[in-house]
Structure 1
Amino acid sequence: MVRGILNIPDNAWVRRVTLWRQVKDILFIGIGVVMASIGLKGFLLPNGFFDGGAMGVSLLMEILTPLDLSVLIVLVNIPFIYLGYKQLNLRFAIKSTFAIFALALLVHYIELPTITADKLLIAVFGGFFLGSGIGFSIRGGAVIDGTEVLAIQVSRKSSLTVGDFITVFNVCLFLVAAILVGLETAMYSMLTYFAASRTVDFLINGVEEYLGVMIVSNYSDAIKEKITYDLGRGVTAFKADGGFGEKAKNPDRNVLFCVVTRLEVTRVLTEIDKIDPKAFVIQYPIKDTKGGMIKKRPLH
């Protein structure tokens, strides 16, 4: 539509969109690398704290080996980059290589003053900056911590989910840390990991969590009209066939689907109850959305 309004040829439009995407990716990765380096040099490294995942392995190996952390960041992440190349594509591997080498250079060459000596602030804000770095890098299509790439590979070959593997991996990592550097430092480092993981979730998923709402009702037309015109939300209707009991006698009906934020779902459910208290409603989380009417205006 925009292409037609601006009278831009198809090839030129594709080039513009591709170029803008590449510029945003580089910008996100650059911000991510800087944020992660601030978290490491300004908070974690001066105080002997570490994180979970591949970064935690690098920080732990720095204690056990004479190698510099910048070298370890590259060495630890090389297998993850290779797995990413196999699972995803060459572009992802190139971006991740660039991001990891850039982070290693900043960690090696920049010097930052110690911002605080308070252990709680170090754990929370160190995790925040490191998580911001990881999150922005992921938004740019790269990784500076490749644990999730390994988790995807393991989940495909075992009964473990991605989340299960990451949890097991980090539990083992923090147990080793508790033995090597002490229980208190390991506990503060766990707090760093939690702060980092929540920051990553925030940057990737956004402020508001999206929910998909599926509605099965004999009054689907009235519910569709209410959600569309009164609440201002887009609704998709699927042709459906009942398969059990009385509902099987009414084969020609619609199943409705809409996407709202968690803050908005109560209003939607209330309007459904007004029309059909016996409606069958399914809710499930959605990571992100693009297009449609989801962000036009809030219901609350």
Structure 2
Amino acid sequence: MIQPHSSLPEQNFLARFTSWNTWKDILFIIIGICMASIGLKGFLLPNGFFDGGAMGMSLLLEILTPVNLSILIVLVNIPFILLGAQQFSISFAVKSSLAIFGLALLVHYIEVPAITADKLLIAVFGGFFLGSGIGFSIRGGAVIDGTEVLAISVSRKSSLTVGDFITVFNIFLFIVAAIFVNIETAMYSMLTYFSASKTVDFLINGVEEYLGVMIMSPQTEEIKSMISHGLGRGVTALKSDGGYGEKANLFPERKVLFCVITRLEVTRLLTEIEKIDPKAFVIQYPIKDTKGGMIKKRPLH
């Protein structure tokens, strides 16, 4: 069948869109490896501190062995990259390999002077720069710390969640550091890890935390109008069927409203719902990320 001519502009748009996303990913990965190299060379390496995860393992091995850190970064992450190729995609593995190799080159060849000798500042800002590097790389569709790839794989085959596995992994890592290095370095390195993890969360999840809200009420249309026109947010009406209680069958065509708002807007939404129906049943739950719709765009999206 001959494709209509209108498909050509659509193909051009898709090509431009794909190209833009590719360049955006490359930019994020470059920023990521630069930020991570500053954290490593300017803060952590000169003072013998380390982080959690695969990067922390590389830094700990650099302290305990004569092997150069740039080589260790590549060697430690190779199993995670191979696992990522199986669990996710070849393109993910390729981008991650290039990001890790680029970071190793920067760590080996670029000299960054030690920025401070204060241990607290080293732990906090070293973690901040390293976490920024990991976060930007993830935004670019790659990893420079492969622990989460292993964590996802383990979570699929066991009862452990991703967070549980990463916590257990890092506890073991810090115990080894306390035994073979010293407990003070291990404690400061734990602070580095917390700083890095919070920075990664900030870059991945953004400044605003989104909530999904489901509303069940007989005054569906009024609440729907309030959300759309009063709050200026999108809302979806889902057909539902009650299954419990005396009033379960009184409204055979009842609807459940669903909308996504920021945490800053939830108080106003609940107040407005209560004005319309004080007995409305409202469910809230956190949402990791959103795209499209009437939600405000996040930075770095």
Alignment TM-score, normalising by the size of structure 1: 0.95
- State whether structure 2 residue 147 is matched by structure 1 residue 147: yes
**C-alpha distance in 2, partners of 1:64/1:187?**
17
Cross-structure match for 2:3 = none
**C-alpha distance in 2, partners of 1:125/1:157?**
36
Cross-structure match for 2:108 = 108
Cross-structure match for 1:198 = 198
Secondary structure at the residue paired with 1:211?
A: strand
**C-alpha distance in 2, partners of 1:268/1:16?**
39
**C-alpha distance in 1, partners of 2:168/2:174?**
10
Query: Deviations along 1:195-224, whole A, 9 cap, x unmatched?
Result: 000000000110000000011111111111
**C-alpha distance in 1, partners of 2:206/2:53?**
22
Query: Deviations along 1:7-46, whole A, 9 cap, x unmatched?
Result: 9711111110010000000000000000000000000000
Cross-structure match for 2:76 = 76
- State whether structure 2 residue 243 is matched by structure 1 residue 265: no
Secondary structure at the residue paired with 2:51?
A: coil
Cross-structure match for 2:64 = 64
Cross-structure match for 1:289 = 290
Cross-structure match for 1:222 = 222
Cross-structure match for 1:47 = 47
**C-alpha distance in 2, partners of 1:289/1:283?**
16
Secondary structure at the residue paired with 2:72?
A: helix
Cross-structure match for 1:274 = 275
How many residues of Structure 1 are paired with residues of Structure 2 in the alignment?
290
**C-alpha distance in 2, partners of 1:50/1:120?**
13
**C-alpha distance in 1, partners of 2:8/2:208?**
35
Preserved CA contact (<8 Å) 2:48 2:63: no
Cross-structure match for 1:99 = 99
Change (3 A) 1:231 1:8: farther
**C-alpha distance in 2, partners of 1:58/1:95?**
20
Deviating beyond 3 angstroms after TM superposition, the runs of 4 or more aligned structure 1 residues are none
Residue identity in the other structure for 1:230 = G
Cross-structure match for 1:173 = 173
Identity %: 78
**C-alpha distance in 2, partners of 1:113/1:58?**
21
Secondary structure at the residue paired with 2:215?
A: strand
Residue identity in the other structure for 1:234 = G
Residue identity in the other structure for 1:294 = I
Preserved CA contact (<8 Å) 2:233 2:259: yes
**C-alpha distance in 1, partners of 2:247/2:170?**
48
* Deviation (angstroms), 1:276: 1.1
Secondary structure at the residue paired with 1:91?
A: helix
Provide structure 1 residue ranges, at least 5 long, that are not aligned to the other structure: 1-6
Residue identity in the other structure for 2:254 = R
**C-alpha distance in 1, partners of 2:209/2:71?**
38
**C-alpha distance in 2, partners of 1:124/1:64?**
23
Alignment TM-score, normalising by the size of structure 2: 0.95
* Deviation (angstroms), 1:83: 0.8
Query: Deviations along 1:205-263, whole A, 9 cap, x unmatched?
Result: 10000000011111111111111111111100000011101231222111000000011
- Greater CA deviation, 147-156 or 277-286? 277-286
**C-alpha distance in 2, partners of 1:294/1:34?**
31
Preserved CA contact (<8 Å) 2:71 2:104: yes
**C-alpha distance in 2, partners of 1:109/1:145?**
20
Query: Deviations along 1:41-96, whole A, 9 cap, x unmatched?
Result: 00000000000000000011112222110000000000100111001101000000
Q: How does 1:250-261 map to 2 (within 5 A)?
A: 250-261=251-262
**C-alpha distance in 2, partners of 1:268/1:42?**
46
